[in-house]
Amino acid sequence: MLQTLSIKQFAIIDELEIQFSDGLTVLSGETGSGKSIIIDAIGQLIGMRASSDYVRHGEKKAIIEGIFDIDNSKDAISVLKSLDIDIDEDFLLVKREIFSSGKSICKINNQTVTLQDLRKVMQELLDIHGQHETQVLLKQKYHLQLLDDYAEDKYLDIKEKYHHLFNEYKNKTKELEELESADQALLQRLDLMKFQFEELKEASLKEGETEQLEVDIRRIQNSEKLSLALNNAHVALTDEHAITDRLYEFSNHLQAINDILPDKYNKLKEEVDQFYYTLEDAKHELYDEMSNTEFDEQVLNELESRMNLLNNLKRKYGKDISELITYQDKLESEISKIENYEESTSQLKEEISQLYKEVISVGKALSKERRKVARELRDHIVKEIQNLQMKDANLEISFQPLDKPTIEGIEFVEFLISPNKGEPLKSLNKIASGGELSRIMLALKSIFVQSRGQTAILFDEVDSGVSGQAAQKMAEKMRDIAQYIQVICISHLPQVASMSDHHLLISKASNEDRTTTQVKELEDGDKIDEIARMISGASVTDLTRENAKEMIEQNRRK
């Protein structure tokens, strides 16, 4: 969970530090006081897009730091280990610096990380649900994602098999389309490919040939110097003053010493003998090498001619010999495909037809498993939304066949809802009001909150568009979620605020022509006054204060 949030030079916030606790924390305050700015700051810690607009006017950079308790987040710890990020006990320090240029730096436990890696870690810890996210429910592609998330691993094997088959089917289909689009330009390209292939084939290219040619050419060009050096080296090992003879004598002397002083110089004698035998071998190698040092102008011309051919090919194609060999193989394969066009297309069509049958077969198996899970999810959602003051609502998860398979499956999945008794089921984007969408989204968050393993969730006015009993039920639902993970909520509803374990009041203050945001944790009377203000929307009276006090006491008893 989020324990401490430190914000410096961010938007209208000069410097601010907030301590958070577990349970339900409500942030309230007048419109424009900076509540959403705090959520934006937390958003930077989970990897949301940075902007120079976030840097306080006149400052070089904004700094946001958060300390997270990761004791109960095995998934986050696993991701940290996979990224080789040091873990300091059970706490995580996350830091984001945003510069006035728009660039930003991300750090976890003082290690600089990429934005992508920051997101990988933080998605396992914290989820921010803003007002705009409720609109995601209107996007049908999100419905299938919800269903698959709810299923967890129940049909993961079938889904992965389907993805593999579909990708293979798609690749083969693309290959066929490319072949069928062959025209005169392709035939002209065939002539060029044939010419290049024959040119490379005739060259009989070999790996490492240029390196060996350089050695052979250098040998012949320097044959006289090489012959002299070899002869001198050989003489040093064979004349009357040969070092091998002296080593042989030295070894005999050491043996005589060892006969008198056993084992005294055994190691030295072994080393001398080894060196002696090494030089003896070298003597024979030098002799053999001397026979290969004659200058042969014809051989030199052949080697230089071969080197020129290889260098010309490298310059012409812009590739080294190894790449040319690979290119030659590729040309041969492409030429074969084009020349055997009809055979290739016929074979591809058979493969595609067989793959299509397999895709449909596995797709049907996947849909069957999805329908089983869909019934469970449907019942779960209906139960939750009916508890959120939508007693007569009904929801179904519809499966409709697609004209052709997609990477996701062979059926179109959509959530349909009937908010009131007697009304037909319709798409969410055609029938659901803002308040209904908010309650459905909260129901979904409640369903997924335990399975996703996150330790904190932030609601940014998720209760907008609701009031009365519906607001009370949503407040109770947020309190229920807070039993499992930390909940931080921006709200204008007194029902939610009265249910909170912790209440933070956000306000603005002006000082020397600058505006800053301030945070105060409310206790007892201050909390009653703030909830009374939320009730009345204007001046606080004794009646609204009593009403606020009663709301708090009633919720404490529940």
- 512 has pLDDT over 80: no
Split at pLDDT 50, 70, 90, the class of 187 is low
Residue 86: which of 63, 65, 113 has the closest Cα?
113
pLDDT in tens, 313-367: 989 988 888 999 999 999 998 888 777 776 777 888 999 999 999 999 999 999 9
Of residues 45 and 340, more confidently modeled: 45
pLDDT in tens, 76-97: 888 999 998 888 778 899 999 9
Residues 6+ apart with CB under 8 A from 2: 20, 42, 66, 67, 68, 126, 456, 486, 488
Mean pLDDT of the chain, nearest integer? 86
CB-based contacts of 91, cutoff 8 Å, min separation 6:
3, 67, 68, 69, 70
Kindly state the tokens that stand for 411. 């059926």
The pLDDT of residue 135: 63
Residue 130, pLDDT score = 66
State what percent of residues in the chain have pLDDT above 90.
31
Q: pLDDT at position 373, please?
A: 95
C-alpha span between 33 and 429 (Å, rounded): 32
Over residues 253-285, the pLDDT tens digits come to: 888 888 878 878 888 888 888 988 888 888 888
How many CB atoms sit inside 10 A of residue 177's CB?
10
| Mean pLDDT confidence for 108-112 | 92
Cα dist. 481→23, 100, 446 in Å?
9, 38, 6
Domain layout of the chain by residue ranges: 201-318
Round to whole Å and give the CA distance between 465 and 479.
19
pLDDT of 131 above 80 = no
pLDDT at residue 112, as a whole number = 93
Whether the predicted pLDDT of 127 surpasses 60: yes
Instruction: Give the pLDDT band of residue 294 (cuts 50, 70, 90).
Output: low
Confidence label for 148 from pLDDT (cuts 50, 70 and 90) = very high
DSSP string, 421-433: TTPPPEEHHHH--
pLDDT digits (tens, 9 = 90+) for 401-457: 999 999 999 999 999 988 888 888 988 877 767 777 778 888 888 887 756 667 888
Strand partners, 99: 61
- Pair of tokens at residue 88: 């300091």
Percent of the chain with pLDDT over 70: 94
pLDDT digits (tens, 9 = 90+) for 468-506: 788 888 888 888 888 888 999 988 888 889 989 999 999
Q: Among 29, 184, 48, 189, which residue's Cα sits nearest to residue 126?
A: 48
Q: What is the pTM of this model?
A: 0.62
What's residue 160's pLDDT? 95
- Mean pLDDT for 160-174 is 95
pLDDT at res. 41: 92
pLDDT at 182 exceeding the cut of 70 = no
